[in-house]
Amino acid sequence: MYPKSLTSIPLGLLISTAAAETIHGAVVFSRHGDRTTKWYGSQTLTSLGAEQNFQIGSDYRSRYLESGSDFQIRGISEHEYKPSQIFASAPDQGILMNTATAFLQGLYPPLADLDPEIASQTLNNGSKSRAPLDGYQYVRLHAVSDNSPDTIWIKGDDSCPEYATASKSFLDSDIFHERDEATRDFYASFYDVLSDGVYNLKPEDMTYENAYSIFDLVNVARIHNSTSATRRVSDEDLLQLRTLADSAELGQNWNDSQPARAIGAEALSGAVLAQLNETVASRGELKFSLFAGSYDTFLAFFGLAGLLELDDNFHGLPDYASTMAFELFTEGDAADEFPSNLDEDLRVRWLFRNGTFGELETFPIFGLSEDSMSWSKFVSEMGERAITDVGDWCTKCGATEDFCAAYADDGDDASAEAETSGKGGMSNTVAGAIACDRLTI
């Protein structure tokens, strides 16, 4: 298969893709697509949003699964979903579960169109059977509930008191006060436009403290509500609202001198490391992992990975359905099999695609100058930043989740014992009172 815009690709690039490489595995983290506003809570993916996540899933299919692709993952099943090759997980919230589902529908579409042979089975009495919806493939998706220790990996900033405190302290910073002062009139000017459609909005809500909510209300209404007065908001003002929201959200999810604001990204880093490590440990058996999560984790990761210094664009919120990918690969047309010299032959690179429009692009991370690094370098760089164990998260967060009790440090013997028992089953149902942090999705 040829790249879509073959003619616009410089010759050098064509030559360099000829020196092929082998991809062994990838981990993708995706934001949800278009959704209803989060002002009222319980936001849901819209049909447009599902379409976006589906499109992104199809595009990753083109990259990692299709046999003509230069980036096809070695040995991956092109058409038929094989459970041992794929891992997918999302928090047990409708919008993120649906995000992952739509992505997976694009990754492994119904079989009837791909391979009619395997789409149907012949029974012993000679009749044929085919799965519903043209051979729809049921890709397994792990829903992680709030009271499972695994909840920390994708949304490690939820129910984390240290994060909440650090994040809120942005409101005490000089820069917050400056912006708040400077934008009072600007925000007040949107009250009429919004109060018309948002019944519980008060004049005092119209400040920089609600930068994201105000941007979100205007943005969502402009996309979906044909009678809303927000349609009168100019593109210029919308951009200003967005830029202010960018700065407020980044402020709450990153501060060089306050690591607790990036706990969500530290936990996600641990999850990515574990998935890629599993690919290595299984010598390429696990091939592709998907997590669906939130923009706050993206922003915190941009800070943690040194991307904010690399490119100002990383100061902005990633668009709906944005994805980041970690690829494990071998240079040269090496391998029919998994490399045995891990350090020499395995490399990792990081890629980002902004929403559905942009290209998937590689960026150097961790302040390195190269676009990729050796596996061992990756393990040590990620290791420095990642939370790799639930007990660690509980301690860093000062968390009071039930599952943290199993990791509490009551002296050496007790904690060693607790660690082992905590790894296994989950504790009782959570007694109603999960601190409900702002859901930043």
Ligand X SMILES: *[C@@H]1O[C@H](CO)[C@@H](O)[C@H](O)[C@H]1NC(C)=O
- Binding residues for ligand X, rule: CB under 6 A, are 123, 125, 127, 170, 173, 175, 196-197, 225, 227-229, 251, 255, 257-258, 273-274, 277, 281, 313-314, 316, 318-319, 354, 388
Shortest distance in whole angstroms from residue 201 CB to ligand X: 11
Shortest distance in whole angstroms from residue 429 CB to ligand X: 29
- Which is closer to ligand X, CB of 160 or CB of 276? 276
At CA 369, angle to CA 293 and CA 281, rounded to 5?
55
- Which is closer to ligand X, CB of 141 or CB of 250? 250
Shortest distance in whole angstroms from residue 232 CB to ligand X: 11
Shortest distance in whole angstroms from residue 19 CB to ligand X: 28
Largest CA distance in the chain: 78
- Which is closer to ligand X, CB of 131 or CB of 229? 229
- Which is closer to ligand X, CB of 229 or CB of 439? 229
Shortest distance in whole angstroms from residue 355 CB to ligand X: 6
Half-sphere exposure of 291 (CA within 13 A, CB side): 31
- Which is closer to ligand X, CB of 60 or CB of 352? 352
Shortest distance in whole angstroms from residue 410 CB to ligand X: 25
Q: Which residues of 298-334 are buried (b: 16+ CB within 10 A; e: fewer)?
A: bbbbbbbbbbbeeeeebbbbbbbbbbbbbbbbbeeee
Shortest distance in whole angstroms from residue 388 CB to ligand X: 5
- Which is closer to ligand X, CB of 308 or CB of 334? 308
- Which is closer to ligand X, CB of 104 or CB of 260? 260
- Which is closer to ligand X, CB of 21 or CB of 266? 266
Dihedral sign, Cα of residue 181, residue 187, residue 188, residue 189: positive
Tell me phi and psi for residue 372, to 5 degrees: -150, 170
Half-sphere exposure of 58 (CA within 13 A, CB side): 11
Shortest distance in whole angstroms from residue 91 CB to ligand X: 21
Tokens read off for 240: 């200003």
- Which is closer to ligand X, CB of 104 or CB of 386? 386
Shortest distance in whole angstroms from residue 342 CB to ligand X: 11
Tokens read off for 60: 């990753």
Q: How far is Cα 162 from Cα 164, in angstroms, rounded to an integer?
A: 5
Give the bridge partners for 128, in sequence order.
Answer: 122
Shortest distance in whole angstroms from residue 1 CB to ligand X: 26
Q: How far is Cα 169 from Cα 163, in angstroms, rounded to an integer?
A: 10
Among 146, 142, 138, which Cα is nearest to 107's? 138
- Which is closer to ligand X, CB of 37 or CB of 372? 37
Residue nearest to ligand X as judged by C-beta position: 316
